Amino acid sequence: MNQPGQPMFHPPSNAPGAAPLPPQTLACPWCGCPAVPGPAVQACQGCRRRFTLSAGPALDGSVVPAPFHPAAMRIALRWSIVVTYRFATLEPPGIHSGTLDPVVGIAPVDQTSIAYGDVLSIAVWRKLAVVDCIIAALVPTPIALLTLYVAISVVAKSPGAGAVFAAIGLLMGLLAVWLFRRGIVIGRRQARIVGRWASTTVPFETSAAFHDELFRRCGIARPPIP
């Protein structure tokens, strides 16, 4: 694993006959412009959006994946894409991802596997969760404002009714704050894992452990989430 003060990336060999790298290996996950791996958050030279790009053990000889352990924690994620579901799982030997059947959403209809030692690069970025922000603005925020206004209006005549409306307003306000936080602060966290023969992109905002454990198993010094 890279130690503090050591370079995060050593350029791959240009020896004749070496297999070409997948084009997204050293590229901005937003626009595809060339990028150089490093330990900190960087801004793309093309689109100016922020991300981290880390070289994996298959690209940087100084990166050594964690030893295989059959009892390592299994982290499973699942998310919907229109009418189908996608999944990604951190298993002891590597990352598995694919599509689940659209009927019951359990059995995989296709699957891709990337061993931790075969990881070329990992890019992490964060998108604004637009849907959460829209829901927060259209549903709990107006209800909170309306019920608090009603509470102020009736509290002099009926303290009990005023307290009920105030409680509803506060609960709706807390829900709005939670949705705005999830949409803006947490957002849609994405990790693009590029391997020698396959790549996958995983939204991991529902699992705080996924980011840390992915980098630990690949042997990469954990970068911050942009």
Residue in the block written with tokens 């996924």: 210
Residue in the block written with tokens 């002099």: 156
pLDDT digits (tens, 9 = 90+) for 140-156: 999 999 999 999 999 88
Q: What is the pLDDT of residue 11?
A: 54
Q: What is the pLDDT of residue 1?
A: 41
Q: Which residues touch 169 (CB under 8 Å, ≥6 apart)? A: 143, 144, 145, 146, 147, 148, 151
Say yes or no to pLDDT of 99 above 70: yes
pLDDT digits (tens, 9 = 90+) for 166-185: 999 999 999 999 999 999 98
The average pLDDT across 216-224 equals 96
Indicate left, alpha or beta for 136 from its phi (over 0: left) and psi (-120 to 50: alpha): alpha
Say yes or no to pLDDT of 205 above 70: yes
Say yes or no to pLDDT of 7 above 50: no
The average pLDDT across 28-39 equals 96
d(C-alpha 40, C-alpha 203), whole Å: 20
C-beta separation of 42 from 33 below 8 A = no
Kindly report the pTM of this predicted structure: 0.82
Containing H/E element for 199?
Answer: strand 199-203
